[in-house]
Every structure is written in C-alpha cells, then in structure tokens.
Structure 1
Amino acid sequence: MDDLLERGAVPEGYSVEIFDGEVIMTPQSQEQDLTVALTRYAVWQTAIGRHRAFSDLLVRFPGENDAAPDLTILAEGAERRGNSYHCDEVLAVLEVPSRPNDDKDYVRNVAKYARFGIDLYLIADPFKKLCTLMTEPHATGYAKVKEIPYGEPLTLTLSTGERIEVDTSTFPVRD
C-alpha cells in the first residue's frame, strides 16, 4: 500500500485498499463523500476537534492487510508512523458501502475490526437508508448491534466517554 501511495498510483476520487490479498479500487460516490463529510463535521463540533478524525487514513493491522476506512477517529495522543497509525490507536471507524449488501463492510470488516479491538464500528448504508452501530468487540464480531434508520438521531459514545451527535436526516440515499 505504501508503494502505491508513494508512486501516486491511486487515481483521484478512488479509494484503494488491499483486502485479503486483493487490491480493491472503488470510486468514491457522492453519497460516500457527503456522509463522511457530515459525520466528520459532527465530530469537529465536539472536543475531539479536527486533529483526531480523518478520511481514508491508512491503519496498520499487524499480520494482516492494512485498511483505509472511510472515516477514522483516533485516540488522544495517537502516534503517526509515516502516513499511518496502528489499529490500537483507533477508537471508531465509519464505513459507507459502495455497493448494496457489500460483503467487505458487513462481514469481513466486522470480523477484522472486532478482532483487533476497535470499540465502535458504524456502517452508514445509503442503499438501506440505515446506520448499523456495533460496539463491544470480541474475537469474531461485536456483542452489541443497533440499527438506526436515516432520519433518527445517532449518538456515538466512544470508549473515552466522548460523545458525538450525528444528524442522519441529511445523509444522502441511493437506490
């Protein structure tokens, strides 16, 4: 992944990830961009501010492929290592599926993020018009899963006690 980034081999507007040995390159949709921007803005309105929430940030997972979640919220004092952060320093991740029923976001990422102890995983799905909030990670998934339809208020409570209020009524949808 570092080599791809350094050579500028990632076209603008695309997200590239190596997942289970595959290079996955998908164009970022308008729905993905706006959902991430609205959520990041909600984060910026909290004490977390602008210094711990990033889009497409490279996160290292020891012994596995790295990831670049749509939005990553880091712990206070997280240490930057080149262009990446270690997964132990990630408090929360948001993913916005680029396809309906995306196996990557709903199955593989759930298992991976939980296995590595990422406390909060949120999927904002423009096809289902639904947010799936997962907390309490364990070896194979998350113990708590809550579905919040677009339009209803969403509160993200990080393991640090920090709270983020997200207005899902403005999340874009896609048929």
Structure 2
Amino acid sequence: MSVHSIMDTDFPKGYAVLFGVDGKMIMIPRSEECSGTIRSMQIDSLALGRHAKVTSDVYIDFPGDEHSAPGLAILRDDARKVSRRYSFEDVLLISEVVSTSSARKDYNDCTTKYGRYGIPIYLVVDPYAGEVVLHTEPTAIGYSTALKRAYGTGKLPIPLADGRTFTLDLDELPRPEPETDAH
C-alpha cells in the first residue's frame, strides 16, 4: 500500500490503525472503555517508576510472523530494541483489553500464544464482564493458573519477575456506560 493510498483511505471510526515496518497493517477496534482502561492501567504503572518501560499498542516481536501490539506491556528495565522493536523475551506482563469484537481472541488465542512463548503474566481486562483474569505459570498450551477478580474489589498486586509489583486498582477501571435511547 503506497503512502498516497493510505493518506486517501477513510479508515473506519473506532479503530486504531497500526502500520508495521514489515508492511503489515493492523486495525484494532477501540472504544471509550478500551481507551479508558488502558489509560487507567498506565496510571497504575507509574508506581513502577517514571522511566519504567511500559508500552501501549506497540509492536513486540515474537518468533516467526507472530507480532503483537498488546494494549499494555511491561518490559524489563534492561530491554533494548532490536530492529526498532522489543522482543517477547523482554516482556514481564502483557494485558489485553476485551472489546466487543475481540473477546474470543483475547480470552483464547492470546492466552495460548502468550503462554506458548513464556510470557510470565497475561492479564485479560474485560470491561463488559466487569472482571480481570490473571494468567500465570505459562505452559506450551497456555497457562496453568488463572485467577479471576471482579471490578470494584480493591487493588490487585501482581508480582513481576524482576521483583517489582504492578498493582492494578480494580476500583478505578472504567465500566461501559449504559446505553440510552435517543428520542
């Protein structure tokens, strides 16, 4: 796709469009709930330090052709980019925020993929179900441990492999607003 054709394309509203250096384009559905949830997690990540390596919607290299741009990733402090990207080997935690169109991918496909590649912690944050699922102990087919916590149940401390703790405030995660009929 040429630069001119990209500039002249009307991409659907509500999608983030990411372009990889390998020429691939990824369209990620975005909602206010998704955006607000990622922002809330970013705020919670500030406790890790102002210069902690925390990314949102940034490509991470996985073996083969399985790149990902997770909603939030916490990386080792000594992580270094190789060919303009971080490696999956630098990841301490990945979190995906469920949208109405990504539930199957976030709950199933990503759980399998991130476990298979040994991502120590995979956190699924679901504003529609009002819950988070914390996956730990990666295996070749996913994770052997999954802990569910509901929104509004306080703080969830998540120990990272480097000795720091990421604490997710479940009381502050945004919930979808009820739909109203416009008359």
**TM-score, scaled to structure 1:** 0.84
Counterparts in 2 of 1:36 and 1:25: CA distance versus 1, 3 Å: same
Show the 5 A alignment for 1:87-166: 87-99=88-100, 102-152=103-153, 153-166=155-168
Counterparts in 2 of 1:69 and 1:50: CA distance versus 1, 3 Å: same
Q: CA RMSD in A?
A: 2.7
Question: 1:58 is matched with which residue?
Answer: 59
State the shift of 1:53 in Å.
0.5
Gaps of 5+ in 1: none
Aligned counterparts of 1:97 and 1:27: Cα–Cα separation in 2: 10
Aligned counterparts of 1:110 and 1:94: Cα–Cα separation in 2: 10
- Aligned residue pairs, count: 167
Gaps of 5+ in 2: 179-183
Q: Would you say 1:72 and 2:69 are equivalent positions?
A: no
AA in 2 matched with 1:36: I
Aligned counterparts of 2:29 and 2:112: Cα–Cα separation in 1: 24
Q: Give runs of ≥4 in structure 1 deviating > 4 Å.
A: 7-13, 15-18
Secondary structure of the 1:64 match is coil
Secondary structure of the 2:171 match is helix
Q: Which has the larger radius of gyration?
A: 2
**1:15/1:56 contact within 8 Å kept:** no
Aligned counterparts of 1:110 and 1:66: Cα–Cα separation in 2: 15
**2:17/2:25 contact within 8 Å kept:** no
State the shift of 1:27 in Å.
3.0
Question: 1:170 is matched with which residue?
Answer: 172
| Greater displacement, 93-102 / 81-90 | 93-102
